[in-house]
Structure 1
């Protein structure tokens, strides 16, 4: 079940669950995957940037990916394989594809500056992992400091048939989506799936610009599924109303350096994670931050009962 350029819906970015002692929490992996299966997700991405992948040993990465792939059942699983060198990227790719992954996600190193360097990097990455492996192009300039213009994405898609999806995380980025869909409309670029990140902060209008869904890790992925579904059904105002109700918590969770702690805390409160632990180095939530998140949840529960969590 390989990833294709026609993937749609929501591929939640799965956090890697840990116990307080830093060990991997396999029971929470199973609960998470069961939740994704039940909430309307159309795929899952594991070992992403906020999956704490750099904190895992290679064997742990394989174990986490294997368990998630086995538990995912019918859902395609994309595995983040970004690495400083191609040898480790190739090794991880080969192992997870043998385990049944649908494809891999590759982020650019922050040393790339020119369009030629960016295209050249992805050309070499495909040479390393194999042209038969579908890959997701991660475009997140706010974190990676690599500016991918619509033109450079056009070149990558044109030169590398195994590029089947763009993880769109530019900000502002709505015009980029429009430009890419215009390339497709005029026949100068083949169709690729566009799933959006940035915690879903702009998902409401990204869908209207031509995105196919979301690929992010917000603590209510079921809401993301609903917004994508409502948008696809043409229920514009219902999609915006639901999105607007979640926007304060979305914004709070998107804080750099603090967002993963918030996400794991809420997912623990929802019963999806045993605890909110991150593997060190990690930023802990203060008592004040927890009170603020609880306040946000209480306010959200007035509009979405899924946020009404028992104490």
Structure 2
């Protein structure tokens, strides 16, 4: 069940559920895992940015990885292993793979500036965790402040056979997808899976440019599953109609600083997790923000019954 370049569909970015006092909520973790997979997600990506990974210690990270992997059965679980040093990265990567993970995801540190520095970093990361572990290259310049050109991504892919997927979160990034697919068509880059993030904000057009699906954490991942399915089937208008109905809530959830609070609030309202709590330091929605989210849910509920939460 290891990750490879044929991966398609939705690999939902999972938050880490906490109790109000900051303890990991194991019951919510199980319920969340069940919901995501029953909704049609091909897999899950855990311990990413929205999983509050930096707030977990090494033992907690490994334990929650093992719990979700056990619960998920045959579904593919990708574990975010980004760390300041390679020793911690290797420990979590090897431990997660031993537990049955499908692969790992590695983000670049924000100190990288030149193309050669980026390429060298990923070569060193592969050497540290082992070339036998499939990995996802995370390209998120808005957050990590590391600019990866299509040419740099091609160099990393060609130099490291264990790189099987790109998590594409550039903005604007549609031309980057087209360029990468062009490299593969001309034979200068081997095929890889491309899954897209950014809360699904550009997903309908990203699919049309050649993306294989989504790797993001919008509070309605079941909608993302439907959108990817419709796009893959060539039902363009139906895919755009569905996306347009959700766009106001997707946009609201994209706000830096409170995006995770919005997402967790809606997941809690849907009964998927028990609490919207984040582990400190973390944000919380004020009364006005809650009212705005409820307004958006009510409007969405006119066209999508999943948003009719009572």
Please indicate the TM-score interval, normalised by the length of the shorter structure.
over 0.9
Give how far 1:74 is off: 1.6
Map 1:231-242 → 2, pairs under 5 A: 231-242=231-242
> Using the alignment, how far apart are the partners of 1:75 and 1:167 within structure 2?
18
Look up the SS of the partner of 2:12 in the other structure: coil
2:108 aligned partner: 108
Map 1:98-247 → 2, pairs under 5 A: 98-247=98-247
Give how far 1:214 is off: 0.2
1:70 aligned partner: 70
> Using the alignment, how far apart are the partners of 1:235 and 1:63 within structure 2?
41
> Using the alignment, how far apart are the partners of 1:249 and 1:281 within structure 2?
24
Give how far 1:37 is off: 1.5
2:10 aligned partner: 10
Look up the SS of the partner of 1:147 in the other structure: coil
> Using the alignment, how far apart are the partners of 1:188 and 1:59 within structure 2?
41
Query: Runs of 5+ in structure 2 lacking a partner?
Result: none
Aligned residue pair count: 310
CA deviations 1:245-287 (Å, max 9, x no partner) are 0000000001001000000000000000101000000111000
TM-score (norm 2): 1.00
2:294 aligned partner: 294
> Using the alignment, how far apart are the partners of 1:145 and 1:199 within structure 2?
18
- Runs of 4+ that moved beyond 2 A: none
Query: Runs of 5+ in structure 1 lacking a partner?
Result: none
> Using the alignment, how far apart are the partners of 1:36 and 1:281 within structure 2?
26
> Using the alignment, how far apart are the partners of 2:240 and 2:70 within structure 1?
35
Q: CA RMSD in A?
A: 0.4
Give how far 1:63 is off: 1.0
1:83 aligned partner: 83
Look up the SS of the partner of 1:156 in the other structure: helix
2:49 aligned partner: 49
> Using the alignment, how far apart are the partners of 2:79 and 2:65 within structure 1?
7
> Using the alignment, how far apart are the partners of 2:162 and 2:128 within structure 1?
13
Give how far 1:153 is off: 0.3
CA deviations 1:106-141 (Å, max 9, x no partner) are 000000011100000000000000000000000000
> Using the alignment, how far apart are the partners of 1:283 and 1:30 within structure 2?
24
> Using the alignment, how far apart are the partners of 1:271 and 1:245 within structure 2?
22
> Using the alignment, how far apart are the partners of 1:291 and 1:304 within structure 2?
19
> Using the alignment, how far apart are the partners of 1:37 and 1:296 within structure 2?
25
> Using the alignment, how far apart are the partners of 2:95 and 2:124 within structure 1?
19
> Using the alignment, how far apart are the partners of 2:105 and 2:136 within structure 1?
4
> Using the alignment, how far apart are the partners of 1:244 and 1:31 within structure 2?
29
Give how far 1:189 is off: 0.5
Look up the SS of the partner of 2:293 in the other structure: helix
TM-score (norm 1): 0.99
Give how far 1:86 is off: 0.3
Give how far 1:8 is off: 0.1
Look up the SS of the partner of 1:255 in the other structure: coil
